[in-house]
Amino acid sequence: MRKCFTYLVCLVVATLIWMPLLHLFFRPSVDAYVPQAGHLPEHTRRMLNRHLADWEGAGQLDDDLARMRVMNPEWDFMGRTFLVLSLANAALVDPDRRERYLATIDQIITDTLRLESERGQAYFLLSYAGHKAWKHPSKRSVFVDGEIALTMAARRMVEEHEGYRSDMRRRIPAMVEQMRGSPVRCAESYPDECWIFCNSIALAAIKVHAVLDQAPYETFLEEWVATAREKLVDAETGMLISSFDLDGRVQQGPEGSCIWLTAHCLAVVDPVFARDQYDRAREHLGRSFLGFGYALEWPTSALGSGDIDSGLVVLGVSPTSSAMALLAAVSFDDTSYTRGLLASLRFGAFPQREGDQLRFLASNQVGDAMALYGLLNQPLWEAVMQR
């Protein structure tokens, strides 16, 4: 009996010793993943190589995209966006491989524009896009227009491209006109369904367009932030809501899969408002346990219902929200949270090294691209703010 008690005490003490130590085996220094002073860290370079190999024909891109499209065609599209943004950032910190990065960026944008033109924007949308009528006569989705515009803008921040310049000069004014037409200054992602995720990406694209082409949108951007503060903020948490109809009626409250990226995009539009949104998201959604960082999908005060973008939500913890939290934590220089999130990524995403490539087995192409952009996002925004 006494021996049994002693063994149980030993088990409890062993648990108390081991569990707080576990994260140390997975917790890297931020410098090992996030570029510092113009140096692209080896791990991040390997993550980049996995995508470059795919698009250069040595990987399994078609298979990856097909498997993702079975679940959600949006992932195919977002995977392209996150990758182009990562490559543009990489081109700014790694000039030796700049031409290779630019070639892949152009390949992705050209292929995306081809698909948009041949199959329509619906090719990248979930099927319910066709179940309802669009409110705006253009029947265009700001999800598609915003991300395409931002990828072109990012490419042009590295090096000018005349074709993208003229496309942006058509696409962005049409997008702004759609946004101005709504009382909440947001355009539809799906029929009568506006997402803050898509509209904030569109705002970042508008901002970069304003910087690159001296386009007169500063007043619109200020007006957007003022409207959002007044009409699109959740009363309980102060965070921006995720989706709403064209008149601003709430469809989904604040969500981790939206707010982190929104804060990141707003950082070039209104840094003060963006920081406020990040701090609120950190308070209501950002968590750490035993040295591992993670993020909830919904604040405890306003539990929402899961959708496919939330991923596999277990006890409120969302992999998508956690991956997006990494993007925001790096973007807002939150070092301790970044380290915790990286520890979780290394512990829970099953990294697999193959030669000079690194992929995460618990992820897919869009997840890997999202994680990559999470680490490689600062140089581009810094370049925009410096101009």
Q: Which of 364, 377, 337 is nearest to 76 (CA)?
A: 364
Q: Which of 119, 125, 4 is nearest to 72 (CA)?
A: 125
3 state SS of 289:
strand
Task: Decide whether 72 or 338 has the Cβ nearer to another protein.
Answer: 72
Q: Tell whether residue 289 is a contact of another protein (CB under 8 A).
A: no
| Strand 286-289 versus strand 250-252 pairing type | unpaired
The size of the chain, in residues, is 387
- Segment interacting with another protein, rule: CB under 8 A, options 7-15, 182-190, 206-214, 237-245: 7-15
Kindly state the smallest distance separating residue 14's Cβ from another protein, in Å.
Answer: 4
Q: Tell whether residue 312 is a contact of another protein (CB under 8 A).
A: yes
Binding characters for another protein, 95-124, by CB under 8 A (x = yes): ------------------------------
Q: Tell whether residue 1 is a contact of another protein (CB under 8 A).
A: no
Distance CA 377, CA 385 (A): 13
- Segment interacting with another protein, rule: CB under 8 A, options 147-155, 193-201, 204-212, 344-352: 344-352
Distance CA 298, CA 266 (A): 20
- Segment interacting with another protein, rule: CB under 8 A, options 35-43, 202-210, 211-219, 361-369: 361-369
- Segment interacting with another protein, rule: CB under 8 A, options 59-67, 99-107, 209-217, 244-252: 59-67
Q: Which of 214, 217, 259 is nearest to 234 (CA)?
A: 259
Q: Tell whether residue 6 is a contact of another protein (CB under 8 A).
A: yes
Token output for 35: 């570029």
Q: Tell whether residue 226 is a contact of another protein (CB under 8 A).
A: no
Q: Select from 32, 58, 71, 226 the one that contacts another protein (CB under 8 A).
A: 71
Within 13 Å, how many C-alpha atoms sit on residue 318's CB side?
A: 26
Phi, psi at 28, each rounded to 5°: -90, 170
- Segment interacting with another protein, rule: CB under 8 A, options 128-136, 174-182, 205-213, 359-367: 359-367
Q: Tell whether residue 361 is a contact of another protein (CB under 8 A).
A: yes
Task: Decide whether 40 or 327 has the Cβ nearer to another protein.
Answer: 327
Q: CA-based Rg of the chain, rounded to a whole angstrom?
A: 21
Do 22 and 291 form a contact (C-beta atoms < 8 A)?
Answer: yes
Q: Select from 66, 226, 272, 303 the one that contacts another protein (CB under 8 A).
A: 66
- Segment interacting with another protein, rule: CB under 8 A, options 2-10, 89-97, 102-110, 130-138: 2-10
Q: Tell whether residue 305 is a contact of another protein (CB under 8 A).
A: no
Distance CA 325, CA 340 (A): 11
Say how many residues touch another protein, by CB under 8 A. Answer: 31
Task: Decide whether 10 or 226 has the Cβ nearer to another protein.
Answer: 10
Beta pairing partners, 287 = 294
Q: Tell whether residue 350 is a contact of another protein (CB under 8 A).
A: yes
56: left (phi over 0), alpha (psi -120 to 50) or beta: alpha
Q: Tell whether residue 14 is a contact of another protein (CB under 8 A).
A: yes
3 state SS of 351:
strand
Kindly state the smallest distance separating residue 148's Cβ from another protein, in Å.
Answer: 24
Q: Tell whether residue 236 is a contact of another protein (CB under 8 A).
A: no
Q: Cβ atoms within 10 A of the Cβ of 276, count?
A: 17
Q: Tell whether residue 7 is a contact of another protein (CB under 8 A).
A: yes
Q: Tell whether residue 11 is a contact of another protein (CB under 8 A).
A: yes
Distance CA 72, CA 311 (A): 11
Angle between helices 196-213 and 256-266 (to 10 degrees): 10
Q: Residue with structure tokens 């392209």?
A: 80
Q: Tell whether residue 374 is a contact of another protein (CB under 8 A).
A: no
Site of interaction with another protein (CB under 8 A): 3, 6-7, 10-11, 13-15, 17-19, 22, 63, 66-68, 70-72, 308, 311-312, 319, 347, 350, 352, 361-364, 367
